[in-house]
Amino acid sequence: MIFTETKLAGAFIIDIEPRDDSRGFFARAFCQREFTEHRLKPLIAQSNIAFNKRKGTLRGMHFQCPPAAETKLVRATRGSILDIIVDLRPESPTYLEHIAVELTADNYRALYVPERFGHGYQVLEDATETSYQVGEFYTPNAEGGLRYSDERLGLTWPLAVAEISPKDAAWPLLRDFEPELRRRMALAVTRASAA
């Protein structure tokens, strides 16, 4: 596998290294040892699939707060998506910065999303399927989200939003909850503030 770190420390684009022959190719898509060598968390607690009927569908921007912060390894297994992640680590020099990566069934590319990042994507083709390996169990009381259209984030989606869940459309704007977000995403949460 080829690991390319993005401008957001700890977030990697992962490309396969296919070994071709007359049948097609074989490639490794995950290796615990290689993830560890790149200081990535190689734990997979859940493996999820999302199927999206319509081009323009938007999912996100989702995150889980500590102590249930999750990593994600995202890949489009059918069709294509524009995947966007936002750094939500208050101590990070790239706090609130984002990257966008096109993941397609044809490029076999994956995006590794570190803990304490917001994540979302827009579907670029009808009948698109994505696969995510997630490093933490879904924990509803740790769940949060960012409004996909929050001007402060400056996210650019390539298509008009054709479908979005009511929950994703209603995530708050940063101006309304940023102090709480910073507190919940801080590296060290004291027992007094966690209580």
**Which pLDDT belongs to residue 187?**
82
CA 69, distance to chain mean position in Å, is: 12
Evaluate whether 43 touches 112 at the Cβ level (below 8 Å).
no
Q: Which residue of the set 121, 132, 138, 148 is catalytic?
A: 132
DSSP annotation string for 141-160: GGEEE--TT-TTTT---SS-
Question: Residue 35: which H helix or E strand, with range?
Answer: helix 32-37
CA distance linking residue 27 with residue 105, whole number of Å:
14
pLDDT at 194 over 50: no
The catalytic residue among 62, 98, 112, 121 is 62
Residue 48 to residue 53: CA distance in whole angstroms: 17
Is residue 119 among the annotated active site residues?
A: no
Quote the pTM value. Answer: 0.91
Catalytic residue check, 148: no
* Domain 2-194, CATH class in plain words: mainly beta
The amino acid occupying position 51 is F
**pLDDT at position 165 over 90:** yes
Question: What is the enclosing helix (H) or strand (E) of 183?
Answer: helix 174-185
Question: pLDDT class for 128, splitting at 50, 70, 90?
Answer: very high
- pLDDT at residue 2 in the model: 95
Q: Where are the domains of the chain?
A: 2-194
Q: What angle do CA 112, 67, 4 make, to 5 degrees?
A: 15
Confidence at 188, pLDDT banded by 50, 70, 90:
low
HSE-CB at 93 with a 13 A cutoff on CA atoms is 3
